[in-house]
């Protein structure tokens, strides 16, 4: 391959940069003569992190998309869980890297699992999805908001403000601080959000050279899982900052999908599953979402979304 320069835009956070270096390493292995420039950007989401629930997680990727549309970068690296259902038709996310552990983890200096936490233990998380599932499992827990990047949250834990905090296993592993994990929480207790643990590569849909260049980074089976999960969320009309959990995996060469919708107070939860051939991934996601909406999920989501809008 002839020498070519490629520009990669990313959020300027430790985790985002780790993910970008992961992709860069893959590209360098495929194309040793490829010159790569990394362009870090501080997004509005990073500045307005306290309001991410109100404004949506697309704030974390908007500036990255603008850089692509204005041809200031060739590809953008995202955590798939941060990618909204709808984005510019001039862009595509055709390539998804191989997914790592999608589950959540308990980080604690005193306790080794959720089950062994003392009554009224203080757990730090600002995720509505995590909150309602934890309350369903342990109604006595005190869920306290916590903001900041992974390192900032761990510092707050170490200061004694919390008995434990909940973080994604994937992020901890990528940052090399997996030793802080006390328990990887089973999905029957805490179902992950759409796309957690996967890295998405976004580029202009008409840039055939870049599309060809990154095509070998796509992991087919991961993409099938993500297609199902994103179809589920799109049918519900939600992104990952809403009380929804979804997880797709493989069993006996079939795709198995589990999803749920819950009220933020943990009083109501509606869940269901699907199992079928891989080529029906998108259909299964939509079908499961329709089932949960019909069972009461529509009412729960409407009430929650209206509450957020009114703030």
Task: Say how far residue 25 (Cα) sits from the centre of its chain.
Answer: 22
Catalytic status, residue 82: yes
C-alpha to C-alpha distance for 240 and 80, rounded to whole angstroms: 10
Q: Which of the following is catalytic: 82, 104, 163, 207?
A: 82
Between the alpha carbon of residue 75 and those of residues 133, 202, 254, 260, the distances in Å are 35, 5, 32, 33
CB contact at 8 A, 84 and 56: yes
Q: H/E/C letters for each residue in the chain?
A: CCCCEEEEEEECCHHHHHHHHHHHHHHHHHCCCCEEEEEEECCHHHHCHHHHHHHCHHHHCHHHHHHHHCCCCCEEEEEHHHCCCCCCCCEEEEEECCCCCCCEEEECCCCCCHHHCCCCCEEECCCHHHHHHHHHHCCCCEEECCCCCHHHHHHHHHCCCCCEEEEEHHHHHHCCCHHHEEEECCCCCCCCCCCCCCEEEEEECCCHHHHHHHHHHCCHHHHHHHHHHHHHHHHHCCCCCCCEEEEEEEECCEEEEEEEEECCCCCCEEEEEEEECHHHHHHHHHHHHHHHHHHHHHHHHHHHHHHHHHC
Active site residues: 82
């Amino acid at each position: 391959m002839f020498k070519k320069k490629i520009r990669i835009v990313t959020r300027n956070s430790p985790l985002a940069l780790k993910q970008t270096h992961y992709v860069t390493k893959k590209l360098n292995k495929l194309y040793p003569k490829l010159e790569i420039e990394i362009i870090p950007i501080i997004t509005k989401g990073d500045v307005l992190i306290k309001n991410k629930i109100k404004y949506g997680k697309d704030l974390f990727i908007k500036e990255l998309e603008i850089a692509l549309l204005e041809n200031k970068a060739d590809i953008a690296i995202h955590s798939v869980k941060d990618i909204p259902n709808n984005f510019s038709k001039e862009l595509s996310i055709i390539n998804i890297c191989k997914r790592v552990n999608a589950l959540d983890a308990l980080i604690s200096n005193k306790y080794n699992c959720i089950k062994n936490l003392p009554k009224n233990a203080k757990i730090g998380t600002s995720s509505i999805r995590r909150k309602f599932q934890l309350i369903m499992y342990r109604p006595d827990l005190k869920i306290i908001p916590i903001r900041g990047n992974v390192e900032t949250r761990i510092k707050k834990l170490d200061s004694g403000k919390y008995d434990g905090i909940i973080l994604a296993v994937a992020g901890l592993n990528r940052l090399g601080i997996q030793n802080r994990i006390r328990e990887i929480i089973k999905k029957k207790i805490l179902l992950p959000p759409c796309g957690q643990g996967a890295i998405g590569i976004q580029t202009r849909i008409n840039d055939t050279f870049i599309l060809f260049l990154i095509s070998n980074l796509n992991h087919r089976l991961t993409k099938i899982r993500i297609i199902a999960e994103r179809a589920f969320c799109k049918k519900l009309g939600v992104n990952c900052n809403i009380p929804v959990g979804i997880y797709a995996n493989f069993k006996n060469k079939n795709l198995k999908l589990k999803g749920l919708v819950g009220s933020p107070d943990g009083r109501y939860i509606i869940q269901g599953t699907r199992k079928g051939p891989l080529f029906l991934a998108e259909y299964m996601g939509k079908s499961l979402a329709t089932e949960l909406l019909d069972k009461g999920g529509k009412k729960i989501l409407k009430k929650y979304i209206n509450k957020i809008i009114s703030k």
